[in-house]
Amino acid sequence: MGDLSQLLQAASDFSRYPGVQSDDSARDFLNRFPLTLIINALQTNFDVPDIENTLVACVEKLFNTTLGASLILQYMPFVQVGLQAESQAVRSLSCKTVSRLLESVDNDDKVAASARLIKDFNIYPLLLDCIIKGDEQVAAVAADAITNLAGFPEGMEIIFPSSKVGEIDLELIASQCSSLGRVRVLALVVKLFSVSRSAASTVYSLNLLKLLEEELRNADDTLVTLSVLELLYELASIEHSTEFLSKTSLFELLSSMISNNSVESILRSRAIMICGRLVPKDIIHSFTDEPCVKAVIASIDGRLQSLNPSDIDECETALESLGHIGSSTQGATLLLSGSSPAARHVIDAAFERQGPQGHGKQLAALHALGNISGETRSKNSIILNAEAEENLRRLIYETATRSSKLTPSGLFRSVLQQDAEIRLAVYRVISGLVARSWCLMEICSKDDIINKLINPTIETTKIGMEARYNCCKAIYQTLTLSDSVSAFTDIYAKVRFRYFIHIQHRMICAFKIYNNTRLSYLIGFQF
């Protein structure tokens, strides 16, 4: 007991050391208390208070050193036993140890040796068992370990062998476990999909994405469906996702969910957000038929038409999604196509005062209009085709005519008088729209709008100042290339002055930062 007391005290001190322990510290500790002694104490002294937490934290800290990581291969039998332990803390430690092993390999020989031992000791099936039956923390670190394993070709062969094996067949496992286990398996599929394009191709070829589709079709459990939608939202953010998702029926399922009035609002909102992430990607038009993309837009359009005034959150989500779609040239063109373009919802909401409750809706609409008008696109892709441009101009003029402002300049003047958040969004809208001659005329023909835009004291935050500067810059650059510059010489001079003042201010700030950095370096060098 005296030796055990010394071990616990030393382990506690070692694990609580702030930061990463050095190899020398790890070596000194292991010289006093060999790893076999620590593991034996962990396995046999269950009744000693706090022994498990102390030793688990100590071993984790040891394995995080280079010296400790080099020892893991020798202790794979203990890792195997730990993955099957009743203790969730020991299971978690074992999962982290597998991750640490895979993170520490630095050459092909070590990769091959690690993969061989992982296969020989049946580690992968045990990690899957931890995902399904472990607590939340154990499931998370087990999934991380498998993701690390998938980072190597040898690991992918273990996860996806050439012939199906029941105990590691993800499709079979998902069909046999509880709803929680099923969601965890789906989360693992998403993680594996994110590892690389090659891993994503394997996941797709094995038809594992259909597990997500099946859960959306059988939307009996709201919590499970919401979890699956969250996974799809994560999946949609992966760079290579569009290529593979566009080959599935997910777009049709999401469109159907958005259009279904009986589906809960939170589920529709998540479906709308997923579409907003997927559709703007340029690559989607290489893999998805235009009618499919139009169906997604039509479902969001129809949803906005049928929403009640009280459905503020869902309305904001739909407007944001249209804004994301409109950030790409193809997306903006589709939103502004047809006799009743979907972008009309954005333009109506952008210039409609709705009081404090409607602030978020107007803000979302203005940012969406900024995207659609091309503020986020390159100069060469701001202007759309003739039909889209005509619809954009028509919708803004019609909105102005229906309001008390009568003209687009009146609309801009009105929203520029609102709070800082709204003004920031308006700067983005004008920065995009001013590339059109009709909008340039509306802005430059009103001195009060120009004076507000070039006023250096109106914004107090850095983001506000930058947005206002970008707006002035867009007006200046458009005027420079416009035939109308002679008609607005005073305006041109004002925005040109403000533009170069801002450039000069930036240069002064950069020079100060450079000098301060250089001075700090010289002072440090002296000492």
pLDDT digits (tens, 9 = 90+) for 398-411: 998 887 778 888 89
Choose among 415, 440, 439, 438: nearest CA to 425.
Answer: 415
**CATH topology assigned to domain 1-160:** Leucine-rich Repeat Variant (1.25.10)
Rounded to an integer, what distance in angstroms lies between the CA atom of residue 41 and that of residue 171?
Answer: 40
DSSP letter at 406 equals -
Rounded to an integer, what distance in angstroms lies between the CA atom of residue 46 and that of residue 52?
Answer: 8
Res. 381 pLDDT band, cuts 50 70 90: confident
Q: What is the pTM of this model?
A: 0.80
| Helix (H) and strand (E) counts in the chain | 32, 0
Lowest mean pLDDT among 184-188, 238-242, 436-440: 238-242
pLDDT digits (tens, 9 = 90+) for 407-429: 888 898 888 888 889 989 999 99
Rounded to an integer, what distance in angstroms lies between the CA atom of residue 124 and that of residue 173?
Answer: 14
Per-domain residue ranges of the chain: 1-160, 404-419+433-526
Burial of 37: CB neighbours in 10 Å, binned 0-12, 13-18, 19+? middle
What the block records as the tokens of 95 is 């999962």
Res. 489 pLDDT band, cuts 50 70 90: low
Say how many Å lie between the first and final Cα of the chain, rounded.
51
Rounded to an integer, what distance in angstroms lies between the CA atom of residue 257 and that of residue 483?
Answer: 49
Percent of the chain at pLDDT > 70 equals: 88
DSSP letter at 283 equals T
Cα-Cα-Cα-Cα dihedral sign, residues 244, 246, 251, 253: negative
3-state SS assignment for residue 311: coil
Question: Which ranges constitute the DSSP H helices of 307-456?
Answer: 312-325, 329-335, 343-350, 359-373, 386-402, 408-416, 420-433, 437-444, 447-454
Rounded to an integer, what distance in angstroms lies between the CA atom of residue 250 and that of residue 236?
Answer: 11
